[in-house]
């Protein structure tokens, strides 16, 4: 931090109108006092907020990111890569958003597929984390680590910031204290790719900063850094006789190369978006998304089918209509239209621009329905969703963890939480999801009681919960 703040102060000093070399001595003293105040304020933010900023590291199977391809081609490339290195370590940033021990980070670092998640707190060691939920559209994920003594969660800012507002990126460093990067809000809201609500800042994002908080002058979170990407081409086709051999790998990569691009500016999911995302991830492990009820051609986004009993059908949208905009924002592809609609919550009233064949463009109002949730939960038992806990190579082995708890369910009433590891049900151990399904399928109906023994992150001993 010390090497960055003086540089920022010099830039501010050079731009200040009262910093001429012939300024009066009393003016010099006033300027020194102002910069001393700036230095003290910056240090206070680091001291207060720094302990909540963490480094997130996850082990996951090797996957392709910069190369896009057909599903079959990607599978073949990744299979070849995994013969050399089956696992890779992905590093990102995160920050504590709940005093009960919830960390907000990016899905790229700690999303589904990770076999182990490690969360490092400055000066407090590393904790094992459990995925609570993730959101593919915004690119954020929520991880549970349990309460951390002496660390206060960061709070989300109220309302959108103004253009030109001070913005402070707080990111981990190899040293114990995090580093403060000074910048400004350049755009409170900007569309890019399939997301129309990015906050843009002049702060430069370095590798590993995805997941870092952008703070205002009071230390409240303006947004979380993400690596926004946009599709800009069409994937190639894999050779029909492709075999996953070394001599063919480069050929396949060449045919499916780079159809995505990174945003040329620093992008953040703003606090007003995070508030709803976090609430949904806490409750169900996924975010409730809006739906119009149309199937579109890729580009241009022409309606190929209107699903019955959906908002689109009620609004009079018909097959063959061209979708031109959402709430005045132009859309030129099905992906962009889907992203703009899904960002909005079910029940939201939106204006969809339509051009029917042979007619002038018009707008129709559509109240969004809820997009069906393709649940990650392989089984449900009295409102309890679970997922496999991969074997971490330690004495605790694999097992099953709670992925979500339905609101108002017996599981919620009993106090079960996402991230709890299920050790046993009715005295029978639960080493896998298959065992969980077998045990719960034969259980008595609602009203009867069953003991569920769980190990909660951050607690040294298991607890027994009575599930009615």
Closest by CA position to 203, among listed 216, 194, 191: 216
The answer to the question of residue 319 being in a domain is yes
CA distance 158 to 439: 46
pLDDT value at residue 104:
95
% of the chain beyond a pLDDT of 90: 25
Whether 196 is in a domain gets the answer yes
CA distances from 14 to 24, 31, 180, 293 (A): 17, 12, 21, 55
Judge if 157 and 245 occupy the same domain.
yes
Tokens, residue 78: 């990744």
DSSP states along 8-39:
HHHHHHHH-TT--TT--HHHHHHHHHHHHHHH
SS (H, E, C) 305-335: EECCCCHHHHHCCCCCCEEEEECCEECCCHH
The distance in angstroms from the start CA to the end CA of the chain is 53
pLDDT tier at 65 (50, 70, 90 boundaries)?
Answer: low
Query: Is residue 366 situated within a structural domain?
Result: yes
Which of 102-116, 236-250, 426-440 has the lowest average pLDDT? Answer: 236-250
- 350 and 327 together in one domain: yes
Domain membership of residue 394 (yes or no) is: yes
Indicate the residue among 346, 370, 394 that finishes a domain: 370
Q: Which of 347, 370, 393 is the last residue of a domain?
A: 370
Q: Which residues have C-beta within 8 Å of that of residue 269, sequence separation ≥ 6?
A: 138, 139, 140, 197, 198, 199, 223, 224, 226, 277
pLDDT, tens only, 373-424: 543 333 456 777 777 664 333 334 457 888 777 666 788 888 888 778 888 8
d(CA 317, CA 260) in angstroms, rounded, equals: 31
Partners of residue 465 on adjacent β-strands: 452
Residue 386 within a domain: yes
Cβ–Cβ contacts within 10 Å for residue 366, how many?
26
440 torsion bin: left (phi>0), alpha (psi -120 to 50), beta (else): alpha
Same domain? For 251 and 303 the reply is no
In a shared domain, residues 157 and 65 = yes
User: For residue 372, what is the DSSP state?
Assistant: P
Per-residue model confidence as pLDDT tens digits over 297-352: 877 889 988 888 889 999 999 999 999 999 988 888 887 888 889 889 899 999 99
Q: pLDDT at position 4, please?
A: 43
Residue 422: inside a domain, yes or no? yes
CATH of the domain at 208: 2.40.10.120
Instruction: Kindly report the CATH number assigned to the domain that includes residue 319.
Output: 2.30.42.10
What the block records as the tokens of 412 is 């919620």
For residues 131 and 105, state if they share a domain.
Answer: yes
C-alpha span between 67 and 342 (Å, rounded)? 25
450 forms bridges with which residues in the sheet?
A: 467
97 vs 281: CA distance, rounded Å: 12
Which 8-state DSSP code applies to residue 206? P
Angle (nearest 5°) at CA 272 between 270 and 274:
70
For the chain, what is the mean pLDDT? 77
Question: Do 328 and 387 sit in the same domain of this protein?
Answer: no
pLDDT at 93: 92
Task: Yes or no: say if 125 and 78 are a contact pair by the CB < 8 Å rule.
Answer: no
312 and 438 housed in the same domain? no
DSSP code, position 346: T
- My answer on whether 114 and 216 are in the same domain is yes
List C-alpha distances in Å: 1 to 123, 193, 450. Answer: 17, 34, 54
**Do 220 and 361 fall within a single domain?**
no
Two structure tokens written together for 255: 């045919």
Length of the chain as a residue count: 468
- Within-domain flag for 375: no
What global pTM score does this model have?
Answer: 0.66
Position 395 scores a pLDDT of: 38
371 — pLDDT class (breaks 50, 70, 90) = confident
* Residue 343 and residue 428 in one domain: no
Element (H, E) at 54: strand 53-61
Same domain, 180 and 309: no
CA 66 to the chain's CA centroid: 19
Q: Is the pLDDT of residue 114 over 50?
A: yes
Q: Are residues 276 and 425 in the same domain?
A: no
245 inside domain: yes
Nearest Cα residue to 382 out of 432, 318, 337, 426 = 426
Residue 18 has pLDDT above 90, yes or no: no
pLDDT tens digits for range 125-178: 888 888 888 888 888 999 989 888 889 999 999 989 999 999 999 988 766 678
Which structural domain, as residue segments, surrounds residue 413?
380-467
pLDDT in tens, 192-228: 877 888 999 999 888 788 999 999 999 999 999 998 7
Structurally, the chain folds into a number of domains equal to: 3
Nearest-angstrom CA–CA distance, 461 and 127 = 16
Return the percent helix, strand and coil in the chain, to nearest 5: 25, 35, 45
Whether 197 contacts 274, CB under 8 Å = no
Question: What percent of the chain has a predicted confidence (pLDDT) above 70?
Answer: 70
Instruction: Show which of 342, 370, 398 is a domain's final residue.
Output: 370
């Amino acid at each position: 931090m010390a090497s960055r703040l003086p540089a920022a102060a010099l830039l501010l000093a050079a731009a200040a109108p009262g910093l001429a070399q012939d300024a009066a001595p009393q003016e010099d003293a006033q300027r020194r006092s102002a910069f001393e105040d700036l230095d003290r304020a910056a240090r206070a933010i680091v001291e207060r907020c720094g302990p909540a900023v963490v480094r997130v590291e996850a082990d996951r199977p090797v996957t392709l990111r910069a190369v896009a391809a057909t599903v079959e081609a990607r599978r073949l490339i990744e299979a070849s890569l995994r013969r050399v290195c089956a696992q890779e370590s992905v590093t990102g940033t995160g920050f504590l958003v709940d005093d009960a021990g919830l960390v907000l980070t990016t899905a790229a670092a700690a999303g589904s597929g990770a076999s182990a998640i490690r969360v490092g707190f400055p000066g407090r060691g590393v904790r094992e984390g459990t995925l609570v939920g993730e959101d593919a559209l915004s690119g954020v994920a929520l991880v549970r680590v349990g309460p951390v003594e002496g660390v206060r969660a960061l709070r989300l800012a109220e309302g959108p910031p103004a253009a030109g507002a001070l913005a402070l990126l707080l990111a981990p460093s190899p040293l114990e204290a995090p580093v403060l990067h000074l910048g400004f809000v350049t755009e409170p809201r900007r569309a890019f790719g399939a997301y129309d609500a990015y906050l843009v800042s002049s702060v430069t994002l370095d590798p590993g900063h995805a997941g870092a908080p952008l703070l205002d002058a009071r230390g409240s979170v303006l947004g979380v850094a993400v690596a926004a990407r946009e599709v800009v081409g069409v994937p190639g086709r894999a050779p029909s006789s492709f075999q996953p051999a070394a001599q063919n790998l480069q050929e396949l990569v060449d045919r499916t190369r780079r159809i995505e691009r990174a945003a040329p500016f620093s992008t953040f999911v703003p606090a007003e978006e995070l508030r709803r995302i976090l609430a949904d991830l806490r409750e169900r492990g996924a975010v409730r998304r809006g739906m119009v009820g149309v199937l579109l051609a890729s580009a241009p986004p022409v309606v190929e089918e209107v699903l019955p009993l959906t908002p689109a059908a009620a609004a009079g949208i018909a097959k063959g209509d061209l979708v031109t905009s959402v709430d005045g924002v132009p859309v030129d592809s099905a992906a962009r239209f889907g992203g703009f609609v899904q960002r909005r919550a079910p029940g939201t009233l939106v204006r969809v621009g339509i051009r029917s064949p042979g007619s002038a463009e018009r707008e129709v109002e559509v109240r969004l329905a809820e997009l069906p949730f393709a649940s990650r939960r392989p089984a449900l038992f009295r409102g309890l969703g679970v997922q496999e806990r991969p074997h971490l190579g330690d004495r605790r082995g694999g097992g099953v963890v709670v992925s979500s708890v339905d609101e108002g369910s017996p599981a919620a009433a009993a106090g079960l939480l996402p991230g709890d590891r299920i050790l046993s049900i009715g005295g029978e151990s639960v080493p896998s999801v298959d065992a969980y399904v077998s045990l719960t399928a034969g259980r008595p109906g609602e009203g009867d009681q069953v003991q569920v023994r769980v190990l909660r992150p951050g607690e040294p001993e298991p607890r027994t919960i009575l599930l009615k």
